[in-house]
Each structure stands twice: as structure tokens, then as C-alpha cells.
A and B are shown apart, each in its own frame.
Chain A
Amino acid sequence: MPELVNLEVFRYSPEHTPEPRFQKFQVPYNKEWVVLDALNYIKDRTDGSLSFRWSCRMGICGSCGVLINGEPKLSCATFLPSKSSKPIRIEPLRHFPVIRDLIVHIGDFMTKLKKVKPWIIRTNESPLSEGEFLQTPDEMERYHQFSHCINCMLCYAACPIYGLDPLFAGPAAIALAQRYNNDSRDQGAARRMPILSSHDGIWACTFVGECTQVCPKHVDPAAAIQQYKLTAALHSLKSVIAPRGAA
């Protein structure tokens, strides 16, 4: 008889039952299987109504984030534990409204992401004939780490501040803003500042650091926020000392 793994999966189908519940499932243990494989096994063989997001199965698309035993993780990058006596509990990402089963509404994150203008802004475009923008390895190093963000929102599920204050811009949006602020080709730092250096921007962060702990791509959003706090504090100091120069 094959070894079985027990799963407790969060279910919520508002059109059928208004209250969320946990449903128990058993899947065969396979050492090559990740939690996403177990969820797909359930959907294909046991209960086709189970709903969850996934796409690439290789930690790139950022769509399969869930809570696995309370920890925000990518279900495609978390292997099934062998001989697990306790069932594995799978829930939707914390701090987001649930639409159905493991699917959360990501509208709030998408709005915040757009607000910080995470793209290269040029105030004066050069003609194509001048060729590409060259960048030294050191210049690339300044933003490279932050460019690994895949918008999986695990950091939002881990951030207690976002849980307490839904207006907080959040770790990924700030890290991505800093990715472009640190890019030598970008000229949009001043346009991002009013959003980032607002009450609901970096100043809402109390440096808990959970965002960095859970990031599956080893981005350090907590560092991005602290870096930007220094930038914004120096800018603020300059605007007090020389109000015209800093404007």
C-alpha cells in the first residue's frame, strides 16, 4: 500500500455555503511531488471543484502562493513532507479577501503596485541613434536583487503591519519602486517620492522583517524600505535646511 499524505484544505464557496471550512484529503506520497502536485491530484481525481491559482510550476509566475501550515509559501516550491503524522494545512494568503477556496482578491496589491510607478521613467528621451543605455556591473548590482521580485505577495501575507493597516503600500511595491530608483537609467525617483515617503508608504513599516524571511526569490524588501527611509529622511532634512534646493 502506498504511503499517504493527509491534507486539510481551506474551502470557501460563497454560492453554496457562506461559512468557510476545512476539507480533509489524502494523496499518495511521492518524493518528487510539491504541494501544487498534491492540489492538482485532488482536483483531477478527488474533487474537481477545488480552486487555486497556478501557472508556471517553477517559481517564476508568482501565482501559486498559499499558506502551508501557516507559513506563506509558493505551493510549486514546497515539497510534500514524508511520513507526516500531522495533516498539512493549506490556506489562502493571509490579509487578502478570499474569492473562492485558495484564490484571493489581489486588486489592492495591483493598485498599490501601479501607484509606485515600477517602470523606467525618463524625463528626457535620447534618440535611438545614440544607442542603448550602458550600465556597469556595479550599477546593475545596485538594483539587481530587487528585480527578482515575482509579485507573489507572500510578503504581504507575512507582514503584520499590512494586516493591521491595509493602507500600507507594502513590501513588494516598495522594493519594486526601489528597484527602479536604484537603476542608473531611471529618472523618476522624484515622482515616486510623494507616494513612498508618505504616511502609508515607508513610514508605516516598523521593520518586523518577515517580508524578507518569506521571500521565495531572496529579495530583501525590508532592506529596500530601510534604504529608502534614509533617502527620504535626508531629503526631508535638506528641505528644512535649504527649502528651495531640495524642491
Chain B
Amino acid sequence: MRRTPIEPILWSLFSAGGMLSALFIPVLLFILVLAPALGWLPAPGYAQLTSLLSHPLARLFLIALCALALVHAAHRFRYTLYDGLQIKHLNELVNILCYGGALAGSVWAIFLLFTRVAEPRL
């Protein structure tokens, strides 16, 4: 049986991460940071954000956004290291650092969203 190559899977995640980040991160930054700072929108309070995140879909969306954005960054950084520093011979180490970092960041996002946010500190 022919082994399924890993490149299409990595590229699909990389590409999904790039598209989601480009679409949603500017919107989130605008709504949560820029517009309140300029007085265009009321600043969301802690309670408001916690209640928003109490919905499982909101958490799943944020986890997907964080994880895919991190995979996107890891994939791009991996090739930057390969080609920029010419260290393709350190293939395994670079892969572990880049994709391992993305995985650790994703696990951390899951941990934060499912444990910390679930306990309102009002």
C-alpha cells in the first residue's frame, strides 16, 4: 500500500491557518482592541467576554484559530530556517521545534479556554 505523503496534510493545515488568520484576526483585533480604544465601540468587560466564551462553539472557534495560526507560523518558520540558515540536515530537530511548538501552543490554548475561562472570577 502506498504511504500517504505528509506534505499535503501539512500544507492543508498551513493554508487553512493562513486563511483563517487573515480573515478573523484583524476582525477580532478591531472589535476587541482598536475600536474600543478609539471609542467607536464600548469596551467589552471581563464578564461579557466570559459569558461569550461559555458557549462551546466560541471556544472551539478560538481553539481552531489559535491551533491553525500556530501551525501556519510553524510551517513557514520551518522553511525559513531550512532555506535561510541552510540547516536542512537538522531536519528532525527543526520539525520537532516548529511543529512541537505549535502543538504545545495549541494544548495551552485548550487548557486556558477550558479550565481558566470556565471559572468566572467576578
Contacts and interface: CB of A to CB of B under 8 A. Distances in A.
A197 B8 contact: yes
B115 interface: no
Contacts of B8: 197, 203, 229, 232-233, 235-237
Contacts of B86: 164
B29 to A, nearest CB: 25
B79 A206 contact: yes
Nearest to B76: A206
A206 B4 contact: no
B4 A239 contact: yes
B12 A233 contact: yes
Interface of B: 4-5, 7-9, 11-12, 15, 79, 83, 86
Nearest to B9: A236
Interface residues of A, number: 17
B98 to A, nearest CB: 14
Contact of B83 (A160, A198, A235): A160
Contact of B7 (A160, A161, A164, A203): A203
Interface in A208-244: 229-230, 232-233, 235-237, 239-240
Contacts of A235: 8
Contact of A233 (B11, B79, B83): B11
9 tightest A-B CB contacts, nearest first: A236-B8, A203-B7, A233-B8, A206-B79, A233-B12, A232-B8, A233-B11, A229-B11, A164-B83
- SS class of chain B's interface: helix, strand, loop or mixed? helix
Interface in A163-189: 164
Interface of A: 160-161, 164, 197-199, 203, 206, 229-230, 232-233, 235-237, 239-240
Contacts of A233: 8-9, 11-12, 15
A214 to B, nearest CB: 19
Given A203-B11, A229-B11, A236 B5 contact: yes
Contact of A236 (B4, B15, B79, B83): B4
